[in-house]
Homo-oligomer: A and B are copies of this chain.
């Protein structure tokens, strides 16, 4: 059962900042976790407007964390700390979307 959906922006600005290399690094680091199939779904996504210019942008859902300036070198830390460990990486996190009903 899917627990996490990781989105890496493929907008032109993020691509110009290395988003394809970031995407590839996430694929490699997630594969290394050897998780059950579909436990983590990784996709590209279109431009995440409010983050444009501050990428490569990576969104981790349903936690709702938006990361900025995520290089391929950062992928291992996000995968290890946040996706496997449940601890968002504060130094890269730019904002967190709150759900309806969440404490403000």
Q: A residues bordering B, Cβ < 8 Å?
A: 1-5, 7, 38, 41, 43-50, 59, 61-64, 86, 95, 97-100
Contact = CB atoms under 8 A, between A and B. Distances in A.
Nearest to A102: B62
Nearest to A85: B100
Contact of A2 (B2, B62, B63, B97): B97
B48 A98 contact: no
Contacts of A95: 1-2
Given A2-B95, A5-B48, A62-B98, 8 more contacts: A1-B95, A2-B97, A5-B59, A7-B45, A41-B48, A45-B45, A45-B46, A62-B99
Contacts of A99: 62-63
A59 B97 CA distance: 14
A49 B38 contact: yes
A68 to B, nearest CB: 13
